[in-house]
């Protein structure tokens, strides 16, 4: 049996465009009783790992050995490489195939390939989780730079004028980013922008 899957999004192809692609692959029934599953655009912004497409899950759940799930393009099936690998593995475990209209390719797998797909998906998801955790930890450790005024500004000017110190040493001493020091105090050994020497 041919089953169609359509995922709508604000930036992606329209319902009509995806229906036309599925029609070209032999799907004609787009009624509620038809073999086409349609996910609407998410109503709120979600992180990639939190996105759930209930109609895609239902399509895979109902797939039977020998079925062909047809989508208009790779981007309509999944939102990331590991998401696509998980969908391929899920269809493969059901004995179903995947047909992509835009590429004209049909995918089917044996058991050994499915294990490789799941390993690749797990690896990508774990690496993304590590990067996200590291970025969150770094964000919580960051403290706002002190305001460059008063005594701190006077100290920064004094250190900035000392040719023996590097910009990084001045930054470490006053706790103000180098970019801010350059913006407020000008280039090293030159007067501040707009001021005469």
Q: 8-35 pLDDT, tens per residue?
A: 998 889 999 999 999 999 999 998 888 9
Residue 110 to residue 113: CA distance in whole angstroms: 6
Is the CB of residue 97 less than 8 Å from the CB of residue 26?
Answer: no
| pLDDT tens per residue, range 54-99 | 999 999 999 999 999 999 999 999 988 888 888 888 999 899 999 9
Neighbours of 153 (CB within 10 A): 15
For residue 189, what pLDDT is reported?
64
Q: Which helix (H) or strand (E) holds 70?
A: strand 68-71
Q: How far apart are CA 189 and CA 197, in angstroms?
A: 10
Percent of the chain that is helix, strand, coil (3-state, to 5): 50, 10, 40
By DSSP bridging, strand 105-107 and strand 97-100 are antiparallel
192: confidence class by pLDDT, cuts 50, 70, 90: low
């Amino acid at each position: 049996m041919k089953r169609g899957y359509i995922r709508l999004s604000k930036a992606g192809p329209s319902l009509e465009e995806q229906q036309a692609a599925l029609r070209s692959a032999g799907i004609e029934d787009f009624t509620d009783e038809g073999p086409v599953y349609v996910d609407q655009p998410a109503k709120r912004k979600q992180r990639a790992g939190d996105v759930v497409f209930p109609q895609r899950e239902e399509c895979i759940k109902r797939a039977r050995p020998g079925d062909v799930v047809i989508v208009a393009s790779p981007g309509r099936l999944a939102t990331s490489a590991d998401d696509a690998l998980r969908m391929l593995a899920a269809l493969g475990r059901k004995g179903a195939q995947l047909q992509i209209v835009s590429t004209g390719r049909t995918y089917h797998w044996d058991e050994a390939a499915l294990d490789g797909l799941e390993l690749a998906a797990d690896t990508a998801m774990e690496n993304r989780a590590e990067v996200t955790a590291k970025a969150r930890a770094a964000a919580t450790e960051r403290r706002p730079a002190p305001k460059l005024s008063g005594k701190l500004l006077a100290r920064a000017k004094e250190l900035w004028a000392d040719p023996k110190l590097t910009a990084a040493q001045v930054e470490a001493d006053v706790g103000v980013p180098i970019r801010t020091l350059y913006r407020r105090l000008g280039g090293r050994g030159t007067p501040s922008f707009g001021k005469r020497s």
